[in-house]
Structure 1
């Protein structure tokens, strides 16, 4: 980047490059994987979803630039409490609408007229901000760490519990992220072990009680069904090829070098080729080499985030970057794991690559926070640099000469 660009794209340059490369990949793969969707929802206009993706990626990049150039990292700490309770309120409204039969689809999306979004997306970022704020303030003693643990875990249980009603995978993803933050925040392992044990117990209880109570919430039966399909195989595969089978077929047909841009056949038969299984389409068109390259980009992002955390001079920014980075990396690994058949089928998109709307904007907020901390680190280093020592003339030398 030249001098003018560096004044605009502030923060870690490597992360900016990773984002631009993922943006280019997103446009290429979304255009080729939404052909069938365009005929179903856009009267055959194959450019419709490409233009939509360009708009949201552009809006997301613009939002990141605003955050890095005009917003202080302190603002995120100030807003953390407000956002976390706003998220709880929105999740409660969404849950109430779902139980009242007023929610559309799976009940994950809240339509407020001029915009529709998933409250879980806001909840993920706000809970991480809130947890970073609490952990940052309570690091002086074991008693403070215990208080921090109780505050964070109580809010986590409420938010993840509400998200669980409509989206188990997102609830589990956020729960794992918060546990990672607590571990990095030096919370005693015995507390984390108790929480993990309770979490595993809830999943086991959900699995075995789902059949005992047919009138139990639909999400319990969904969780049990996904576990059964992952362990015993999908019974629908005996009747026809499932989405997971199509994903494996796409990876197999892609081979090492792929079939070429826009030459995917499998995407025409997959309901979520542009979202949950987009990694499989990437491998089908661009080969295993490209698939490894995508994973490498997320690993580069992870290691650059580690550098940002190590350079942070305050605890809140360090915990904030830790949480948001783990959230994005975990989500990417889940999407890749589902596409390759390593993990049970879930509904997690590939960050900054999958087709998205407001979800892309929330992802851009996460990246924007990380870049803001990176830029703040750069400013702090400039302030802490010792003054330049100017060499003065050697008067004795001039006289002797």
Structure 2
């Protein structure tokens, strides 16, 4: 009987439901990438490549979940340093290894293997280091304004270094991603809600003020903001805020909106051309192929995925595991929100892929690596047969 209970507990550690949701994402990804290929932009069969990437990604997630996540408390700084070294090497690498693309240097190019974006790995390393910092800080300090500010200073110091490299590339989308991870972990770190309100409210007010000034005082925006940005970034803003008037700058957004609009409720076979349909704008293909119903199904899958990650965070008996899951949930939520937002014209085009759906080996493998860490938190969480009261006094729980 004791062996049976232990065996049931072990099997329960494998989240079969999460694996099934990921399988649905794999099927949907290959289906919509195939539909994107019908636009005949490329001769390459991206569906076969994406299927291979998914096989590798599932393997990575399955391997990672068997490594106890607590080991990353010791490895997090080593991985963080490795990520910074990759970003540094990318900055000084010759064009034969790191070719510029549209004025940005973000990828390594390797024969046979293809492209690799080191910032994708860096965001996972940032989550691990920030989670480690929060965990150790909360074990050593009580929450007060000085201690909360001290924790914020430690966390800010961690994200500043990669942000400087990302600004140099430039990759403002990944800068926003890093900041979203930072804010997500601040929210669950237990710091004062007043500090959280300032951190979240400040950017929202700043964005609202920028949009108002863009339409009301365009000269001021041009003189004091756009003059400090690259021409490529300025075109992105014009294409976002007025895509149908600035035809060249807003071409992708306008075409994506047209595709989604023609999809109506259950999809359409209308012929509309859209560049990069299999990567950044895969959501427009979803809305066009299966209409509102298909888009709603995909968004529901993301809600289910995020719900599972958050529940794993809440059920973790180790605050470090809670912080890891929280950072990954914040990362994925922001990426989904940003990608869908730029597809429907609510947010600027930043080059974000739609996680688990867009074509791309770096993005897919990194996302599945992150989900593997979540599975590790579930797999290695402690199971108490009678009472957890003794254990609860040993660790301080994160505030959700």
Distance in structure 2 (CA, Å) of the matches to 1:264 and 1:23: 25
Q: Is the 1:206–1:224 Cα contact (8 Å) retained in structure 2? A: no
Q: 1:208 to 1:223 in 2, by over 3 A?
A: farther
2:73 is the alignment partner of 1:64 = no
Distance in structure 1 (CA, Å) of the matches to 2:200 and 2:157: 11
Q: Comparing 134-143 with 186-195, which one deviates more in the overlay?
A: 186-195
Displacement of 1:279 in angstroms is: 0.6
Displacement of 1:222 in angstroms is: 3.1
- Which 5+ residue runs of structure 2 have no aligned equivalent? 1-6, 211-219, 388-400
Corresponding position of 2:130: 131
Corresponding position of 1:79: 75
Corresponding position of 1:351: 355
Pick aligned residue for 1:108 from 106, 109, 119: 106
SS of alignment partner, residue 40 of structure 1: coil
Q: 1:9 to 1:97 in 2, by over 3 A?
A: farther
Pick aligned residue for 1:223 from 227, 233, 256: 233
SS of alignment partner, residue 160 of structure 2: helix
Corresponding position of 2:192: 188
Corresponding position of 2:33: 30
Displacement of 1:15 in angstroms is: 2.0
SS of alignment partner, residue 25 of structure 1: helix
Displacement of 1:372 in angstroms is: 1.2
Corresponding position of 1:312: 316
Output the aligned Cα RMSD: 3.3
SS of alignment partner, residue 360 of structure 2: coil
Displacement of 1:230 in angstroms is: 2.4
Q: 1:7 to 1:254 in 2, by over 3 A?
A: farther
Residues 286-331 of structure 1: CA deviation (Å, up to 9, x unaligned): 1211101111111111222221111111111000000011101211
Displacement of 1:183 in angstroms is: 1.9
Give the TM-score normalised by the residue count of structure 2. Answer: 0.81
Distance in structure 1 (CA, Å) of the matches to 2:174 and 2:240: 18
Corresponding position of 1:386: 386
- Which 5+ residue runs of structure 1 have no aligned equivalent? 43-47, 214-218, 388-401
Pick aligned residue for 1:332 from 336, 341, 345: 336
Distance in structure 1 (CA, Å) of the matches to 2:386 and 2:309: 26
Q: Is the 2:239–2:249 Cα contact (8 Å) retained in structure 1? A: no
Q: 1:295 to 1:17 in 2, by over 3 A?
A: same
Residues 250-309 of structure 1: CA deviation (Å, up to 9, x unaligned): 1111110113xxx4632xx21111111111111111121110111111111122222111
2:361 is the alignment partner of 1:365 = no
Give the TM-score normalised by the residue count of structure 1. Answer: 0.80
